[in-house]
């Protein structure tokens, strides 16, 4: 679940369904900042790098 900032002690801010394609906007110390597009708005948050995989590989 994405968090407001990288680290283990932050609040989860939204849920990403398994299989949802996200955009990576930045990385920091084992955490990835992602952007998720929905029908009406975009969401951004931090997830541990083991929570996503690159589909372009």
What pLDDT, on a 0 to 100 scale, did the predictor assign at position 38? 84
The sign of the CA dihedral 48, 26, 53, 41 is positive
Which CATH number does the domain housing residue 54 bear?
Answer: 2.30.30
What pLDDT is attached to residue 57? 66
The better pLDDT of the pair 6, 17 is held by: 17
Query: Residue 26, CB half-sphere, CA atoms under 13 Å: how many?
Result: 7
Pull the structure tokens for residue 10. 């932050």
* 10-52 per-position pLDDT tens digit: 888 888 988 889 999 999 999 999 999 988 899 999 999 999 8
Q: How many domains does the chain have?
A: 1
Residue ranges making up the domain that contains 51: 1-57
């Amino acid at each position: 679940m994405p968090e407001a900032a990288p680290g283990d002690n932050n609040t989860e801010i939204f849920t990403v369904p398994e299989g949802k394609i996200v955009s990576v906007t930045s990385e920091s110390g084992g955490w990835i900042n992602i952007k998720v597009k929905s029908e009406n708005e975009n969401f951004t948050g931090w997830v541990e790098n083991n929570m996503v995989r690159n589909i372009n590989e």
